[in-house]
A and B are shown apart, each in its own frame.
Chain A
């Protein structure tokens, strides 16, 4: 297995106003692997993942210290364009959030913003992205219907297709299945395992079984700190840390 580091976090600290959300976090996420981030509510999982594509910059009062290296480049270095980062590191959110537009326009939205206008190229991108998101067969005959008419699971796959349309290298997923039923969840999980061939993914999840099913590496956070980070199989069979053990066996607190 070729293990190349995609994202490297060094001594990351983050604050919302005076509240510190992340403390001295250091960990590396490997290329074409799925890293799961688990931990109780308020442990900093979402803050962490949102630091990886600088989407937190948009939060008033948010401050970050430390380094996040993407293929060696510091995302927080002066002169780095956060918009460009977000094209290369896409994000999918907890609640499916398609635009109130046709399916086609949802997927073509990003490429159009990037200046792609030729119809044929857009068509190809839309088809390819929907195929990658395992949604094409279900929507190919109704590309011009509203995205809002799709089921929750389809909407979430549409959001994944929309994220893929700008050809990112990394996908950040913030509890992508928490609003979905088990069947839709199963489809998304299959999709993630398939996308792993070409993408690096970081998934935040409250569902520990989901972390166990899809991820290669698991990070356990608590109170804004990294408690344990290791191969998922090890974390779930033999965690090194007592706190991790208590959390994953449900004896927490």
Chain B
């Protein structure tokens, strides 16, 4: 009894946090009299107050609005990267599962290698090569390093269903591998996939913040949370709010997606319940 309540609460809080973030990020400009990029040298690093709820940064820009705009960047990167991972992972997994033999062997060895590599470091290694790291590059890089566990998942599903009668029947009437993947594999893995992708959004947002903090992501004046913390770092001892709010935004967003993922796992696939 207790567990059921825990479960639904995890899901509900996660959903509420995520929806609140999306609304806040999209509708920020409707409620704010400020502009996220306009400099106001008369209001530099004003502490949080009724005028600027989160205070202002070193160029007098309203931090609340910049944090909300940062949400757009984080959400876009998190979701787009996960879509790329999903697409690559599904393709690799489906090919490996259907082909079998040496192709399967090669693809799975590559998958193992990618899985054995610490993902965040791999993203760092790639981003460091570019002379001009940008938001567009980050989501592609994050998408391309995060597909391996999805490939494993889809391959396993293909292996289990490809010899089933209904799949053989479908193939005998001319449904190609793509059709089988779309009609039989994906619906069967959708629950697990959704959980993995939702948790993937959370980890992508954390990695993006981390890369941007290191200067390898979104560049100023873009209001990326990681870059905002880098800027605020120089005034940390006297004006800690400049770092405080972007960090809380990262924490709540990642928390939201993590809870949503956990909640979905409990709701959709009880077999997976209780894992780390």
Is chain B found bound to chain A in the same assembly? Answer: no
Q: Which residues of A contact B (CB under 8 A)?
A: none
